[in-house]
Amino acid sequence: MTVVLEYLENTVKATPEKNAFVGENGGLTFAELYEKSRAVGSFLHERGVYKKPVVVFMEKSADMVAAFLGVAYGGCYYVPLDAEMPTYRIRQIFEAVSPSLVIRDDASQQILATLEVPCDILSFADISTCRINDPALATLRQAAIDTDPLYVVFTSGSTGTPKGVTASHRSVIDYIEQLCPVLGVDETTVFGNQSPLYLDACLKELIPTLKYGATTHFIPKSLFMFPVKLIQYINAHGINTICWVASALGLVAALGALDKATPHTLRTIAFGSEVFAIKHLNRWRKALPQARFIHLYGPTEATGMSLYYILERDFAEHETVPIGRPFPNTGVLLLDENGDEPPSGEAGEICIRGTCLCLGYFNDPARTQAAFVQNPHAPFLDLLYKTGDLGRRGADSLYYFLSRKDHQIKHMGYRIELTEIEWVATRIPGVQLACAVFDDDASRIILYYMAEAGTEKSAVQAALKAELPRYMQPHALFPLDSLPQTTGGKIDRVTLLTRYKESKVK
Amino acid sequence: MLLEILQELHPDIDYTTHTTLIDDRVIDSYDIIFLVGEIADKLDVEIPADELTPENFNSYAALNALVERLGA
């Protein structure tokens, strides 16, 4: 198998009329998906766009999946964008990839018009009806290799410049082949998708749906505010498998929805991307004693998820749910600061090796080389991805996540660099210095800043609101005359966080 | 008191006139958690999950009516 499109090509023969992807504004069967994506591929060929990044800027929908696959049919790779992203980020992405073409829908038309991007913008509705050129698509396929890129997704960068994680068909195929047996995916699987399509997280639903002829429902985002309605939606659509960020599951439990309704169609609940409060996890397990609960862990740079743990016992509130063991064909190594493996049970940086590693950061050799390094213990070429996460291996042979080495946080399921928030804050006129801290007990981002006299807090707040996406916005702002420093001269985050937590108690 | 809780969340919103807080995505799912928590702490009113509906959170007036009904 060379490209992920082969999953679709096998399935469309078996179940052409089955619904593949269903969203708020309709869905596509496998046959429709197959037609539309080949039309998009044929269009790209006709335009002479080949082996190039193609931006897909659309609302979450079945059509957006057809656009992704269409870009792959054209021998190109997709760069997904979303209206939820801040404008500065969208501009940075356009600068970083210089796309040949943008595929838009009606929703993104206006935003694109104000951005004045210097490339062709075409409507999905127009190009997905292009005449299909099968001989040309066959020629493109013959030239394809499995290490060709499939997509570039952008993730928060500590210097304010996002990193374009580039993944190949091969790493995606490897990931899906290992993930599906763990999730228990088959043709009866009905996914309820929560994650945005501009992150790698959505691969968990998109590609298995193609492989097995399953069905994915894109759950309307607004339902996550009203959890009883969310449960009713799950039951009404017969959704049996969900892979959500822990905070989405936690929200349902925290608001007491499981006491009012039971999502009785669910049989597999996978969660990850952040710590899941055990009290919420236990509420879920009590509500669905027959369901399988799976903890997933992995960085975008290793194409999705790398380790998994199937819950097989109860956890008390003070315990930590392990991140478990690596997927088959995935290697995990702990390394200390000297590049040695720490003694059993001791902390080390979690490093991942194997086919699952992505192709590095787009057009960014310096940051790629810093994160993807030669295994110091291998006398041959063996790349490791250094996650920046500290972990340890327990006496039970399972891996446990401990903490981050840097200032990256997970909030609402998103990977956020606190330093990026600071970078945005210090670009606001009047703001001289900023320090963001994360109160993980309350799941709140707090921003301390120093500003020139006369800088109104409301103006700073308004500027942050305009610049940052919802999930990165500080919940509270505190102007200070000076920011405390460590003996090394850095801003003292620990003191600021302690100060914040103490002020909350009072 | 309820108005103060809402204003802490979004100081830039005029809650006396805004009647599409949910429809316009002013309030998101984390705001709902915050509001449910604050209303329980400060007003001593527990909002059960089946009262979490777009209608009850679309305006200050609707939310206030809900709190008064549940607190009565």
Which residues, other chains included, contact A57 with Cβ-Cβ below 8 Å and sequence gap of 6+? A80, A81, A82, A83, A102, A103, A104, A105, A108, A111, A112
- B55 at interface of A, judged by CB pairs closer than 8 A: no
Whole-number pLDDT of residue A362? 97
> What is the distance in angstroms between the CA of the first residue and the CA of the last residue of chain B?
16
What's A291's DSSP letter? S
**Beta carbons within 10 angstroms of residue A203's beta carbon:** 24
Cα–Cα distance for residue pair A476/A501, rounded to 1 Å? 12
Q: Looking at chain B, which residue has its C-alpha nearest residue A253?
A: B49
Q: Looking at chain B, which residue has its C-alpha nearest residue A249?
A: B29
Last residue of a domain, one of A351, A382, A404: A404
Whole-number pLDDT of residue A506? 54
Q: A458–B54: do the CB atoms touch at under 8 Å?
A: no
**Beta carbons within 10 angstroms of residue A216's beta carbon:** 27
Query: Average pLDDT, stretch B36-45?
Result: 89
Q: Is pLDDT of B70 > 80?
A: yes
- A224 at interface of B, judged by CB pairs closer than 8 A: yes
Q: Which helix (H) or strand (E) holds A372?
A: strand A372-374
Whole-number pLDDT of residue A77? 98
DSSP string, A64-103: HHHHHHHHHHTT-EEEEE-TTS-HHHHHHHHHHH--SEEE
Q: Looking at chain B, which residue has its C-alpha nearest residue A474?
A: B9
Per-window interface: B 26-45 vs A, CB < 8 A = 27-30, 32-33, 36
Question: Which superfamily is assigned to B2-71 in CATH?
Answer: ACP-like (1.10.1200.10)
- Cα A190 to Cα A62, A72, A360: the distances in Å are 15, 25, 32
| CATH code of A467's domain | 3.30.300.30
Cα–Cα distance for residue pair A74/A70, rounded to 1 Å? 6
Cα–Cα distance for residue pair A273/A414, rounded to 1 Å? 8
Residues of chain B neighbouring A287 (CB-CB closer than 8 A): none
pTM over 0.95? The answer is no
Instruction: Please tell me which of the candidates B11, B22, B48 has its beta carbon nearest to residue A260.
Output: B48
Same domain, A454 and A400: no
Instruction: Please tell me which of the candidates A226, A255, A261 has its beta carbon nearest to residue B54.
Output: A226
Q: From the candidates A255, A283, A504, which should be mutated to test the interface with B, based on the most B CB atoms within 10 A? A: A255
| Angle formed by the axes of helices A62-73 and A5-14, nearest 10° | 120
Whole-number pLDDT of residue B44? 92
Q: Which residues of chain A have pLDDT under 50?
A: none
Same domain, A377 and A438: no
Q: Is residue A60 part of a domain?
A: no
Which of B70, B61, B19, B8 lies closest to B43, judged by CA? B70
Last residue of a domain, one of A404, A438, A455: A404
Same domain, A425 and A386: no
Contact A59, A105 (CB under 8 A): yes
Last residue of a domain, one of A404, A425, A445: A404
Q: Is residue A371 part of a domain?
A: yes
Cα–Cα distance for residue pair A436/A416, rounded to 1 Å? 11
Cα–Cα distance for residue pair A435/A280, rounded to 1 Å? 31
- Cα A67 to Cα A38, A207, A462: the distances in Å are 9, 14, 35
Q: Is residue A26 part of a domain?
A: no
Cα–Cα distance for residue pair A31/A34, rounded to 1 Å? 5
Q: Is residue A62 part of a domain?
A: no
Domain count, chain A: 2
Q: Is A156 helix (H, G, I), strand (E, B) or coil?
A: coil
Whole-number pLDDT of residue A470? 83
Same domain, A390 and A462: no
Per-position b or e across A466-488, b if 16+ CB within 10 A of its CB? ebbbebbebbebeeeeebeeeee
Which residues, other chains included, contact A62 with Cβ-Cβ below 8 Å and sequence gap of 6+? A20, A21, A22, A23, A26, A27, A28, A33, A218
Q: So where are chain B's domains?
A: 2-71
Contact A57, A108 (CB under 8 A): yes
- B12 at interface of A, judged by CB pairs closer than 8 A: yes
Domain extent, residue A375, equals 325-404
| CATH code of A330's domain | 2.30.38.10
**Beta carbons within 10 angstroms of residue A427's beta carbon:** 13
Q: In the structure encoding, which two tokens stand for residue B25, read together? A: 């995505």
Q: Is pLDDT of B53 > 80?
A: yes
Identify the residue whose tokens are 């850095």. Answer: A490
